[in-house]
Amino acid sequence: MSVLDRVVGGVSCREVLVDLSEYVDGELPPTRVAAVEAHLAGCDRCERFGGRFASTVAALRRSLARPTGGVPPEMAAGLRRRLAEDGAA
Amino acid sequence: MSEADDARLLAAAADGDRRAFARFVDRHEASVLRYLRAAAAQDADADDAFQEAFLAAWRGAGGFRGEGSARAWMLTVARNALRRHHRRRAGEPTGYEPLEDLDHLGRAAGWGRPEPAEEALEREDLLRWALDGLAPGDREILVLRELEGLGGEEVAELLGLSLAAQKSRLHRARLRFVARVRSQALTDDEEDRA
């Protein structure tokens, strides 16, 4: 038996691990949200991991949203030349 | 400009309006390149597919029926351009990585294990490194969901997956990202203490 088989609040740690992304995204049905939250209230490991998982996904979104400089000028110009050859520009 | 504006630009482009298409290109070229570079095994593949994607969009603008977002349509066109490019280079792997046991992924991501300092999440170099080192399939879905903000159903359709498979792929990609951040942050913490 794995540590992830531990059941708290009627739900195992493994089930919470499976549902974690949907929970963080607000996409779990309400009854499932209640079950996950009952588990998190009584399971330190899942509560800690869930928090860190959510923070890291949020950090990923912030990182992705940072400006990256767009399309390099030579690529943008090359695209427009190619489109012009095709009658698209 | 709005989604409705994109739809009007594509409709005009379908009628041969080159200026409308040029505006559409201006609006989407950065996100298309960003997506292709995430989804491709190498930047060179992405850069080659970039022109092909917009050529295909120009030629096929009439194919946008307004059933989903113009952005999702454009990214689907881009994805198909990348796949055609990969098929021309026979033997290049494009497929997704084998399915890992979720327990293993969870533990690697830090479930039940020590965590690095929260400050690690402020390190842009670490986050970029962690993302760049993922497999193309993982980067692709993370860019589509976390940057482009496409919904689960749109991404499922774009990737040719069921909604359940899309959810599973997203979750595993996130866990692998979290695992990479954790692992490198802990290594850096150890080296700083040495």
pLDDT digits (tens, 9 = 90+) for A45-87: 999 999 999 999 999 999 999 988 899 999 999 999 999 998 8
Q: What is the mean pLDDT of residues B42-71?
A: 92
Average predicted confidence (pLDDT) for chain B:
90
Give this prediction's pTM. 0.90
Which of these, B133, B141, B176, lies nearest to B159 by C-alpha position?
B141
Check pLDDT > 90 for residue B1. no
pLDDT of residue B145: 97
Tokens 């298309």 belong to residue: B32
Q: Do B111 and A4 touch (CB under 8 A)?
A: yes
CATH class in words for B3-88: mainly alpha
Strands, E, within chain A: which ranges?
7-8, 11-12
List chain B domain ranges.
3-88, 102-193
- CA within 13 Å, CB half, B19: 0
pLDDT of residue A2: 83
Q: Do A60 and B142 touch (CB under 8 A)?
A: yes
Q: Kindly report, residue by residue over A8-47, the tens digit of the pLDDT.
A: 999 999 999 999 999 999 999 999 999 999 999 999 999 9
| B56/chain A closest Cα distance in angstroms | 10
**CATH domain B102-193 topology:** Arc Repressor Mutant, subunit A (1.10.10)
- What is the DSSP annotation of B65-96? -SSS-HHHHHHHHHHHHHHHHHHHSTT---SP
pLDDT of residue B96: 54
Cβ–Cβ pairs < 8 A, chains A and B = 115
Question: Looking at beta carbons, which residues of chain B come within 8 Å of A17?
Answer: 102-103, 106, 111
Q: Return the bridge partners of A8, or none.
A: A11
Check pLDDT > 70 for residue B136. yes
Check pLDDT > 70 for residue B92. no
**Surface-to-core class of residue A13, CB atoms within 10 Å of its CB (0-12 exposed, 13-18 middle, 19+ buried):** buried
Report the alpha-carbon distance of residue B181 to residue B121 in Å, rounded. 8
Confidence of residue B99 (pLDDT cuts 50, 70, 90): low
Confidence of residue B149 (pLDDT cuts 50, 70, 90): very high
Q: What is the mean pLDDT of residues B69-90?
A: 88
Check pLDDT > 60 for residue B93. no
CB distance B85 to B146 below 8 Å:
no
Do B3-88 and B102-193 show the same overall fold? no
Tell me B162's DSSP state: -
Question: Which pair of tokens denotes residue B130?
Answer: 């962690």
Q: How many residues does chain B have?
A: 194
Q: Do B58 and A68 touch (CB under 8 A)?
A: no
ipTM over 0.90? The verdict is yes
Report the residue from B54, B110, B121 with minimal CB separation from A83: B54
Amino acid B117 reads A
Residue of A nearest to B122 (CA): A59
pLDDT of residue A89: 72
Check pLDDT > 80 for residue B89. no
Tell me A11's DSSP state: E
Largest CA distance in chain A: 65
